[in-house]
Amino acid sequence: MATTISRRSFLGLSAFLGLGIAGCSSLRGGPGPSKGSGKALESTEVETSLGKVAGKELEGDVITWYGIPYGKPPVDGLRWKAPERADAWVETRDCTEAPDRALQFSGDKVVGTEDCLNLTITSKVGHAGKPVLVYVHGGNNQTGTSAEIVGDDMVDKADCVYVSLNYRLGLLGFNCLPSLVSKEGASSNFGMLDIALALDWVRENVGAFGGDPSNITVSGFSAGGRDVMAMLISPAFRGKFQKAIIYSGGMTTSDTATAQIRIAKAIAPLAIEDGRAADEDSARKWLLSEGDEVRAYLMEIDSERLVPLMANANIRMSVFPHLFEDDVVIPKGGFRGASYNGVPTIMLTGTSEFSMFSLGDPWWQSNEATVLSVDELAAASAFSVKYGSDMYRIFNAQESAEAMADSFGEKVYVCQVDYGGDNSAMATDLQPYGSFHGIFVPMIATDNQYAALMPNVFDKTGYGAMAEAYNGYLKHFLATGDPNGDGLEAWDRSSRQSLILDADEIEARISCEDVSRTYGDIIADMKADVTIPQDVKDAVAKNVMNGRWFSTALDEYYGGGWAN
């Protein structure tokens, strides 16, 4: 059952939803007060524990402080070490310009800086004791920036203080070679340690920016969402936050021993080039040893040579393993039998999550693909997007909810954005992307990267009404840990309810439904699909859909005989 909602005041929306949504209870008009933590924010200049910072005033009494350092630059002797607290400063620090991104390989070139341990805070004059939302950007833990989602809108819509982080990426942020972590108790998840230090800084200082340090929600998109999922099982993050929001995340960790082999293979060509080994085999073996000589060599490699080595992983852990089960930040076994840091959690996905990844896959330009006709290529692409997205959709939320159901100890709310997907009234507007990976971003941030790619979509009345509804849920969740007052139904094994967000041209369509499936269901549908011949299915499965976060069941099935 879908309920249609027109754009109106949030109080009116609440009253309307009180008539009843299938599986859902009513929204309330607004959150109760948070615990206070200091006087109201009054100025662009704020005193932190490390020194005073001066921010930039934006429209509507909104203030942003860009690039506040929370850690020392992780260079020279601090490369591949746990981050250290930033040094204090004496003069007021100018935080009115956006910082550079962390060093990364993007657009076929190296960009950014190693001096990347900083955060950006957005708040509003008059804010005091507001909920705090800390955001971890996406990009496969290889690329991205704290500016991925700006907080200007959210400080009003969600009535919060917004914090976004930069942290170490790629091999500089995740490297588990034995010589780097041979000391007992050392972790190879350096990027995660950065985020942990940033959360400590936030708890210590956010009260001065109008936030409540006892009400912190940590959130992330894509790789950032997977990082937040890892925080839920990490002893290093216990007690550092009170709630979690995970956008297109899912459960992914890497076995350390396997990752070491892959990383050594990636760095081996540099060791040969630098005369440290005669061939690839001996270079790999040398890099996998624990000697001081290996560590010294790794420390002296120019960072711009390291950054491109494992680029373009394209949601494949085998290309760039990270989130290592080092038994320090992430326990051995990862999520299997994990002891959770249970906090109220929202997990959100779109229905066409694989569209951009599939459409951009280089196999479509390969010799094998170009022998297909235009119609055959279109059908093969649609096959990949349809079934890959359905697998990615359940990986992002349902699979995690199922794994957490018996031992998490807190409520989990599953949300799905249908807008633009095959079953949406707006399906044609967002073709060929559908309800893509990132469909939620324009709901919470008017300034976003998708508006130019898809003009005249996110400013439609219906999308705006859907966004207003979601921001109501978000506001209430940040304040109380419950997105819907008396109880939007949490996910459980019996009801398996997801909040479905959709809209037509004019109105939002909000419902709660059981949209769960199994990987077996999807594979059976793929086998029964007659839109493309079997040999094309084989090629798409082996070359486009394989090895992704979500494709373990498909890979195992295919390895056992796809056509059987």
256: helix, strand or coil: helix
**94-103 burial, b if ≥16 CB within 10 A, otherwise e?**
ebeeebbbbb
H helices, E strands: number in the chain:
19, 17
pLDDT in tens, 251-301: 999 999 999 999 999 999 999 999 999 999 999 999 999 989 999 999 999
What are residue 197's phi and psi, to 5 degrees? Answer: -65, -40
Nearest to 244 by CA among 258, 228, 259: 228
Amino acid identity at 344: P
Residues 101 and 116 sit within 8 Å (Cβ to Cβ): yes
- Look up residue 470 and give its DSSP letter: H
Spatial separation of the C-alpha atoms in residues 77 and 329, rounded to whole Å:
21
Cross-strand partners of 130: 211
Spatial separation of the C-alpha atoms in residues 321 and 315, rounded to whole Å:
10
Residues 52 and 117 sit within 8 Å (Cβ to Cβ): no
164: helix, strand or coil: strand
DSSP H stretches of helix in 142-189: 154-157, 170-173
Sign of CA dihedral 236, 240, 244, 246: negative
Is the pLDDT confidence value at 169 over 70?
Answer: yes
pLDDT in tens, 25-42: 433 333 333 333 468 999
Whole-prediction pTM: 0.93
* Mean pLDDT confidence for 302-316: 93
Structure tokens at 42: 């009054």
pLDDT in tens, 355-382: 999 999 999 999 999 999 999 999 999 9
Rg (CA), the chain: 24
